[in-house]
Amino acid sequence: MPEAVADGRAATRGVGPLIVVAVLAAASLTVAFLGASPAPVSAHELMGATRDPGQAAFVASHRGDAGSAPENTLPAIRAAIAAGFDYVEVDVALTVDGAAVLMHDATVDRTTNGFGRLSQLSLAEVRALDAGGWFGPAFAGTPVPLVEEFLDLLAASPTRAVIELKGEWTPVAVGHLVAEIDARGLERRVAAASFDARTLALVARESDVISRLAILRALPADVVDAARSLGVRGVLVKGSAVIARPEIVDELHASGIRVVVYTFNEDREWRDAVDIGVDGIVTDRPGTLSTWLASS
């Protein structure tokens, strides 16, 4: 408003300090914003340095400790945590009403006393099932866990986790899962894994921090390019596919991408995997694998 300025030089002297204050304030806000934005989890932070041939891989306990308790149940998770395995791996899928529960199969037939497709059952129906009686009388009445219950156990421990998101997830379901992970401060200890590229993209949209793993049954011709295009920290690959193309381990490592194989349960498989320098092994026999690695 120039009509209110009696002395141009006085006005200029007043504007200078105001500009400086404004710039400093903006800079402070920028620093505060950047400081409040956590950095993405690096592959090194999540899974350690790339392994050399012969170096011990980390152990990921498949579906909890499924050898000592019913798979993907809280008793199996507690057993894996108590045993001190590097990672616990679980499968999480959606009910018809969008609730996330621990379940591997598309149907509940094999691991509960019920039947039918999980995607056609409500949370109330799933929670009413017995997910432990098939394993043994001591586990009769064990319910199918909510993902929140699993995350609560994980948060109370130092264990890391690989959470496989089964099937195609909705934006709402992914947003809820990420919020639950963040609320427990687990975003730096959890990796989200999936066969589905769209689901992985939804996780990336919801979180700049949580690591993602692409699950592959077969290896594409250019696996490094595929992993880069997905923006993942690692690939979780069927073990036999990696053993058939051992050179891809060095190729992925050169790009900072980790290699985890599934599901290896025998000594000869573990030896083959370690000999080519894979970073992690998913197994149904985590206790035996841990002992084998320590003695090898």
Q: Considering only CA atoms, which of 86, 76, 48, 69 is closest in space to residue 294? A: 86
**CA 162 to CA 147: how far, in whole Å?**
13
Confidence class of residue 36 from pLDDT cuts 50, 70 and 90? low
**CA 259 to CA 250: how far, in whole Å?**
9
**CA 94 to CA 84: how far, in whole Å?**
29
Confidence class of residue 296 from pLDDT cuts 50, 70 and 90? confident
User: Residue 117 has what DSSP assignment?
Assistant: B
**Beta bridge partners of residue 165, listed in sequence order:** 92
Q: Phi and psi dihedrals of 96, rounded to 5?
A: -65, -30
* pLDDT at residue 151, rounded to an integer: 98
**CA 195 to CA 203: how far, in whole Å?**
13
Contacts of 59 (CB under 8 A, 6+ apart): 85, 86, 87, 280, 281, 283, 286, 289, 290, 293
Contacts of 225 (CB under 8 A, 6+ apart): none
* pTM greater than the 0.85 cutoff: yes
Contacts of 88 (CB under 8 A, 6+ apart): 60, 61, 64, 65, 77, 80, 81, 154, 159, 160, 161, 162
What average pLDDT does range 285-296 have in this prediction? 96
Question: 102-147, pLDDT tens digit by residue?
Answer: 999 999 999 999 999 999 999 999 999 999 999 999 999 999 999 9
Q: How far is CA 237 from CA 32, 204, 248, 262, in A?
A: 40, 20, 11, 6
Q: What length is written for the chain?
A: 296
* pLDDT at residue 23, rounded to an integer: 35
The SS3 call for residue 193 is: strand
**Beta bridge partners of residue 102, listed in sequence order:** 92
Q: Considering only CA atoms, which of 232, 196, 197 is closest in space to residue 212? A: 232
Query: Over 90: is that where the pLDDT of 61 sits?
Result: yes
**CA 31 to CA 4: how far, in whole Å?**
36
Q: How far is CA 263 from CA 63, 90, 152, in A?
A: 11, 13, 26
Question: 11-23, pLDDT tens digit by residue?
Answer: 334 434 333 333 3
Question: 239-289, pLDDT tens digit by residue?
Answer: 999 999 999 999 999 999 999 999 999 999 999 999 999 999 999 999 999
